[in-house]
Amino acid sequence: MTTQRPITVAIIGAGGRGRGFASLIQQAGYAGLGQVVGVAEPDDAYREQVREQCGLDAAMVFRSWQEFVAQPKRCDAVVISTMDRDHVGPTVACLEQGYHVLLEKPMATTLEDCRAIEAAQRRAGTVVAVCHSLRYHKKFARVKALIDAGRIGEIVTVDQLEQVAFWHQAHSFVRGNWGNAARSTFMLLAKSCHDIDYICDLVGRPCLRVSSFGSLRYFTAEHAPAGSTARCTDGCPVERECPYSAIRTYVEAERLDWWPACTVSAVHTKDAHLAAITTGPYGRCVFRCDNDVVDHQVVIMEFDGGVTTTFTMTAFTQGGDRKVRVHGTEGEIAMDAAAVTLRTFADTTVETIALGEEPGGHGGGDWRAVSAWLRAIVSGDRSLVLTDVQESLSSHAIVFAAERARREGRVVELAELAACP
């Protein structure tokens, strides 16, 4: 279905994810779906990038989400891609003004705030999608389709592995914005809430109880190499051999305008990047930061009907892909970076489905999530949105329960969270 004009969208939070969403929406514009018409972002360089990229009118460029919502409704929809702790304020305010919303995961950093967003959506009645991109990734979607088609009978167990590559952990969860829970949130929520969401989608039953174990094992001062310095740029004698060298990662990268190197500076020259890591957070020794989030964690979940699942996140891996194994009463499915493999017990056949990777974030999942949201707004068909706030709230509750289980060293019943304010 088409509309006479594209859905007009403002980007609230123009960091890496926000600028990525802006690009995807502009791509959707070629099909007449979406057009970025506004931006709200406190960082001058990031705000200017979106203004130039999308050719925005000066009247639609704002320094904060508060400035944006202080105006009468200016467009059809917004993307909320601020820092995690700042999701609830702009999301609720924009819903109260009648905007459709694409909300970057996680919904919010407390269960109370997640519930506030869900309640605001029910009052507003607008189309809200939480960007759990794994559901839209074609390999993950194929696993789901095979299960729904009954190819392996009823699910008994699910095992999912998230490999956060060693350099990704160092960039985002040691030196970067998500390394310290007080400034952002805990690791499972920040990085892996859409993994838990995907497991819930596969099982399709209520989660009853959860346990979890994990810690900050390696990225601590006690593991700093002898003689290492506070910064990689301080003449550190082991910098050249260290796998976490900030100079190699951010200054000597093959492409300075590609992630993660592009994060350190809006200007992509070697001199600019070197200056940035000499004073900024990304030049710090990974063993001498203020990080406190876990670098490995396992979550064990029991669902209604006796289905059991595990999720493992680890930073100690070279690759960054995810792996899934689903065991059913009549067969099993394995998914990795190469293919989806189906084995059935009755005939012992092995079916290999090689889907390949697609361009774009999360194997094309980001593009599909944005496109589905825009098409849902245009058509009024909310079923195109695979994760609305109600379903996302349910999986977020499991994430909060798992973190409580990890911290308190016990099994947490999901019923406990129903009594939380």
What pLDDT shows up at residue 31? 77
Q: Are residues 304 and 165 in the same domain?
A: yes
Whether 118 contacts 365, CB under 8 Å:
no
- Would 361 be classed as within a structural domain? no
Answer with the one of 236, 258, 283 that is the final residue of a domain.
283
> 277: part of which helix (H) or strand (E)?
helix 270-279
Q: Are residues 397 and 310 in the same domain?
A: yes
The CATH number for 146's domain is 3.30.360.10
- Would 273 be classed as within a structural domain? yes
Answer with the one of 283, 308, 325 that is the final residue of a domain.
283
What pLDDT shows up at residue 357? 66
Answer with the one of 256, 283, 310 that is the final residue of a domain.
283
Q: Are residues 205 and 308 in the same domain?
A: yes
DSSP annotation string for 343-362: EETTT--EEEE-----SSGG
Whether 363 contacts 357, CB under 8 Å:
yes
Show the domain range for 66.
Answer: 7-126
Q: Are residues 322 and 405 in the same domain?
A: yes
What pLDDT shows up at residue 2? 45
Q: Are residues 341 and 395 in the same domain?
A: yes
Domain count, the chain: 3
6 Cβ neighbours under 8 A, 6+ residues apart: 28, 29, 32, 33, 34, 35
Q: Are residues 255 and 266 in the same domain?
A: yes
Q: Are residues 303 and 271 in the same domain?
A: no
What pLDDT shows up at residue 63? 97
Q: Are residues 147 and 23 in the same domain?
A: no
How far, in Å, CA of 414 to CA of 217, rounded?
28
What pLDDT shows up at residue 360? 60
What pLDDT shows up at residue 320? 81
How far, in Å, CA of 101 to CA of 94, rounded?
8
Q: pTM score, two decimals?
A: 0.94
- Would 92 be classed as within a structural domain? yes
- Would 68 be classed as within a structural domain? yes
- Would 383 be classed as within a structural domain? no
Q: Are residues 265 and 315 in the same domain?
A: no
Residues of the chain with pLDDT under 70: 1-4, 357-363, 419-421
What pLDDT shows up at residue 212? 98
Provide the phi-psi class of 370: left if phi over 0, else alpha when psi is between -120 and 50, else beta: alpha
The CATH number for 71's domain is 3.40.50.720
